[in-house]
Structure 1
Amino acid sequence: MLVGLALLLLPFTGFAQKFTISGYVRDAKTGENLIGVAILNSVTGQGTATNAYGFYSLTLPKDSVKLVASYVGYERGLFSTYLDKDLQQNLLLSPAVTTLREVEIVGTREEEVRESTRMSTINMSVAQIKAVPALFGEVDVLKALQLLPGVQSGGEGTSGMYVRGGGPDQNLILLDGVPVYNASHLFGFFSVFTAEALNNVELVKGGFPARYGGRLSSVLDISMKEGNMNQVDGEGSIGLIASRLTVGAPIKKDVASFIVSGRRTYIDVLARPFMKKEEGVGGYYFYDLNGKLNWKVSDKDRLYLSAYTGYDEFYATTEGRGSDSYESRAGLGWGNLTSAFRWNRIINQRLFLNTHLTYTKYQFDISNEEESRYNNEDHTFKLKYLSNIRDLSAKLDFDFIPNPNHYIRFGTQYVHHQFQPGALQLKETGGSSAEDLEVNTQKTNAQEVGLYIEDDLRISERVKVNVGVRANGFSVNKEFYSSLEPRASLRFIANEKLSLKASYANMTQFIHLLTNSGIGLPTDLWVPSTDKIKPQRSHQVALGATRTIAQDKLEVSLEGYYKTMHNLIEYKEGASFIGISNSWDTKVTAGKGWAYGMELFLHKKTGRTNGWIGYTLAWSNRQFAELNKGEKYPYRYDRRHDVEVVVIHQLKPNLSLSGTWVYGTGNAITLPQARYVVGDSYPGGYGGTATYSDYGSRNGYRMAAYHRADISLSHTKKKNWGEVVNNISFYNAYNRKNPYYIYVAGGEKEGDPAKFKQISLFPILPSISKTFKF
Structure 2
Amino acid sequence: MKHNVLIYLFGLLALLVVINPTEAQTNQNILNPNNAQSRFTVSGYIKDAADGEGLIGVSVFVKEAGTGAVTNNYGFYAVTVPTGTYDLVISYVGYEKQTKSVTLTDRNVRLDVELKEEGKQLQEVVVSTKREDDNVKNIEMSVNRIDVKTLQRIPALLGEVDVIRSIQLLPGVSTVGEGATGFNVRGGSIDQNLVLLDEAPVYNSSHLFGFFSVFNPDAVKDVKLIKGGIPSNYGGRIASILDVRLKEGNAKKPELNGGIGLIFSRLSYERPLFKGKGSFIIAGRRSYADILAQPFLNSDLKGSRFYFYDLTAKANYRINDKNTVFLSGYLGRDVFGADFGFNWGNTTLSTRWNHVFSDKLFLNTTAYYSNYDYSLDSDLKRKDPQDYFRTDSRIVDYSIKPDFSLFLGKSTLTFGGQSILHDFQPGTATAASSGDIRTFGLSSKYALENALYIGNEQQVSPKLQLQYGIRYSLFNYIGPGEAYTLDTNAPADSSRPIIATRTYKRGENIQTYGNWEPRFSAKYELSNNSSLKLSYNRLAQYIHLISNTTASTPLDIWTPSTNNIKPQIADQIAGGYFKNFGRSVNGSGSEFEASVEVYYKWLQNQIDYIDGANLILNRYLESELLSGRGRAYGAEFFIKRTTGVVNGWVSYTLAKTERQVIGINNNNWFPTRFDKTHTLTSVLLIDPPQAKRWNFSATFTLASGTPATFPTNRYEVQGIVAQVVNGRNNYRIPMYHRLDLAATLQGRRRPNKRKEDNWVFSVYNVYARKNPFSVYFQANEDNPRITEAIRYSVFATLIPSVTYNFKF
TM tier, smaller: over 0.9
Query: 1:388 is matched by which residue type in structure 2?
Result: R
Query: 2:647 is matched by which residue type in structure 1?
Result: N
1:408 maps to 413
How far residue 31 of structure 1 moved from its aligned partner, in angstroms, is 0.6
Correspondence 1:664 to 2:703: yes
How far residue 283 of structure 1 moved from its aligned partner, in angstroms, is 2.2
Query: 1:664 is matched by which residue type in structure 2?
Result: A
> How far apart in 2 are the matches of 1:66 and 1:5?
31
1:135 maps to 157
> How far apart in 2 are the matches of 1:270 and 1:715?
26
Question: Measured at CA, do residues 121 and 751 of structure 1 come closer, stay the same or move farther in structure 2, by a change above 3 Å?
Answer: closer
> How far apart in 2 are the matches of 1:379 and 1:180?
34
Moved more, 137-146 or 268-277: 268-277
How far residue 624 of structure 1 moved from its aligned partner, in angstroms, is 1.1
2:728 maps to 698
Correspondence 1:308 to 2:330: yes
Contact residue 371 and residue 379 of structure 1 kept, 8 A: no
Contact residue 338 and residue 380 of structure 2 kept, 8 A: no
CA-to-aligned-CA distance 1:82-113 (integer Å, 9 cap, x gap): 11221111110011111666543443433611
1:708 maps to 738
1:616-765 superposed matches below 5 A: 616-651=653-688, 652-679=691-718, 690-717=720-747, 718-719=749-750, 720-746=753-779, 752-762=785-795, 763-765=797-799
How far residue 752 of structure 1 moved from its aligned partner, in angstroms, is 4.6
Correspondence 1:17 to 2:55: no
Q: Secondary structure at the residue paired with 1:104?
A: coil
1:156 maps to 178
Contact residue 220 and residue 247 of structure 2 kept, 8 A: yes
Contact residue 57 and residue 401 of structure 1 kept, 8 A: yes
How far residue 497 of structure 1 moved from its aligned partner, in angstroms, is 2.4
Correspondence 1:70 to 2:99: no
2:474 maps to 473
Contact residue 272 and residue 278 of structure 2 kept, 8 A: yes
User: More strand per residue: 1 or 2?
Assistant: 1
How far residue 750 of structure 1 moved from its aligned partner, in angstroms, is 5.6
1:419 maps to 424
Q: Secondary structure at the residue paired with 1:666?
A: coil
Question: Measured at CA, do residues 370 and 149 of structure 1 come closer, stay the same or move farther in structure 2, by a change above 3 Å?
Answer: closer
How far residue 171 of structure 1 moved from its aligned partner, in angstroms, is 0.4
Instruction: Calculate the TM-score normalised by the size of structure 2.
Output: 0.89
> How far apart in 2 are the matches of 1:99 and 1:249?
25
Of the three residues 45, 53, 58, the one matched with 1:37 is 58
> How far apart in 2 are the matches of 1:207 and 1:426?
49
> How far apart in 1 are the matches of 2:83 and 2:18?
23
Question: Measured at CA, do residues 705 and 407 of structure 1 come closer, stay the same or move farther in structure 2, by a change above 3 Å?
Answer: same
Of the three residues 495, 499, 507, the one matched with 2:539 is 507
Query: 1:703 is matched by which residue type in structure 2?
Result: I
> How far apart in 1 are the matches of 2:324 and 2:52?
13
Query: 2:366 is matched by which residue type in structure 1?
Result: H
How far residue 583 of structure 1 moved from its aligned partner, in angstroms, is 2.8
How far residue 356 of structure 1 moved from its aligned partner, in angstroms, is 0.7
1:397 maps to 403
Contact residue 158 and residue 190 of structure 1 kept, 8 A: no
Contact residue 466 and residue 522 of structure 2 kept, 8 A: yes
Q: Secondary structure at the residue paired with 1:494?
A: strand
Question: Measured at CA, do residues 158 and 72 of structure 1 come closer, stay the same or move farther in structure 2, by a change above 3 Å?
Answer: farther
1:113 maps to 135
CA-to-aligned-CA distance 1:498-551 (integer Å, 9 cap, x gap): 200100001000000111324574221111000000000010000111011223
Of the three residues 345, 355, 371, the one matched with 2:355 is 345
CA RMSD of aligned residues (A): 1.9
Contact residue 106 and residue 605 of structure 1 kept, 8 A: no
Question: Measured at CA, do residues 411 and 630 of structure 1 come closer, stay the same or move farther in structure 2, by a change above 3 Å?
Answer: same
How far residue 424 of structure 1 moved from its aligned partner, in angstroms, is 2.6
Correspondence 1:574 to 2:608: no
2:229 maps to 207
Contact residue 40 and residue 108 of structure 2 kept, 8 A: yes
Q: Secondary structure at the residue paired with 1:110?
A: coil
> How far apart in 2 are the matches of 1:650 and 1:9?
53
1:555-570 superposed matches below 5 A: 555-570=593-608
> How far apart in 2 are the matches of 1:264 and 1:200?
23
How far residue 279 of structure 1 moved from its aligned partner, in angstroms, is 4.9
Query: 2:451 is matched by which residue type in structure 1?
Result: G
Contact residue 123 and residue 643 of structure 2 kept, 8 A: no
Correspondence 1:532 to 2:564: yes
Gaps of 5+ in 2: 1-10, 30-36, 479-509, 584-589
2:451 maps to 450
Q: Secondary structure at the residue paired with 1:273?
A: helix
Contact residue 181 and residue 552 of structure 2 kept, 8 A: no
1:178-193 superposed matches below 5 A: 178-193=200-215
Q: Secondary structure at the residue paired with 1:380?
A: coil
Of the three residues 243, 258, 281, the one matched with 2:303 is 281
How far residue 439 of structure 1 moved from its aligned partner, in angstroms, is 2.2
> How far apart in 2 are the matches of 1:292 and 1:437?
39
CA-to-aligned-CA distance 1:345-376 (integer Å, 9 cap, x gap): 00000000011110000011101139999xxx
> How far apart in 2 are the matches of 1:653 and 1:407?
45
Contact residue 108 and residue 122 of structure 1 kept, 8 A: no
Identical positions, percent: 38
How far residue 745 of structure 1 moved from its aligned partner, in angstroms, is 2.9
Query: 1:509 is matched by which residue type in structure 2?
Result: Q
How far residue 131 of structure 1 moved from its aligned partner, in angstroms, is 1.3
Query: 2:531 is matched by which residue type in structure 1?
Result: S
Query: 1:540 is matched by which residue type in structure 2?
Result: Q
Moved more, 142-151 or 569-578: 569-578
Of the three residues 456, 468, 485, the one matched with 2:517 is 485
Alignment: residue pair count? 743
Question: Measured at CA, do residues 530 and 266 of structure 1 come closer, stay the same or move farther in structure 2, by a change above 3 Å?
Answer: same
How far residue 629 of structure 1 moved from its aligned partner, in angstroms, is 2.3
Contact residue 20 and residue 349 of structure 1 kept, 8 A: yes
CA-to-aligned-CA distance 1:157-197 (integer Å, 9 cap, x gap): 44521100000000011100110010001011111001110
CA-to-aligned-CA distance 1:121-142 (integer Å, 9 cap, x gap): 1111111111110100110001
Correspondence 1:356 to 2:331: no
Question: Measured at CA, do residues 516 and 507 of structure 1 come closer, stay the same or move farther in structure 2, by a change above 3 Å?
Answer: same
Instruction: Calculate the TM-score normalised by the size of structure 1.
Output: 0.93
How far residue 81 of structure 1 moved from its aligned partner, in angstroms, is 2.2
How far residue 571 of structure 1 moved from its aligned partner, in angstroms, is 2.5
Question: Measured at CA, do residues 572 and 424 of structure 1 come closer, stay the same or move farther in structure 2, by a change above 3 Å?
Answer: farther
Question: Measured at CA, do residues 579 and 296 of structure 1 come closer, stay the same or move farther in structure 2, by a change above 3 Å?
Answer: closer
1:207-226 superposed matches below 5 A: 207-226=229-248
Question: Measured at CA, do residues 27 and 371 of structure 1 come closer, stay the same or move farther in structure 2, by a change above 3 Å?
Answer: closer
> How far apart in 2 are the matches of 1:733 and 1:750?
37
Moved more, 70-79 or 512-521: 512-521
Contact residue 668 and residue 702 of structure 1 kept, 8 A: yes
1:295 maps to 317
Correspondence 1:60 to 2:94: no
Question: Measured at CA, do residues 754 and 451 of structure 1 come closer, stay the same or move farther in structure 2, by a change above 3 Å?
Answer: same
Correspondence 1:588 to 2:590: no
Correspondence 1:385 to 2:407: no
Of the three residues 642, 647, 652, the one matched with 1:610 is 647
Of the three residues 27, 31, 34, the one matched with 2:48 is 27
Query: 1:226 is matched by which residue type in structure 2?
Result: E
Moved more, 332-341 or 758-767: 758-767
> How far apart in 1 are the matches of 2:381 and 2:322?
62
Q: Secondary structure at the residue paired with 2:166?
A: helix
Question: Measured at CA, do residues 733 and 199 of structure 1 come closer, stay the same or move farther in structure 2, by a change above 3 Å?
Answer: same
2:263 maps to 241
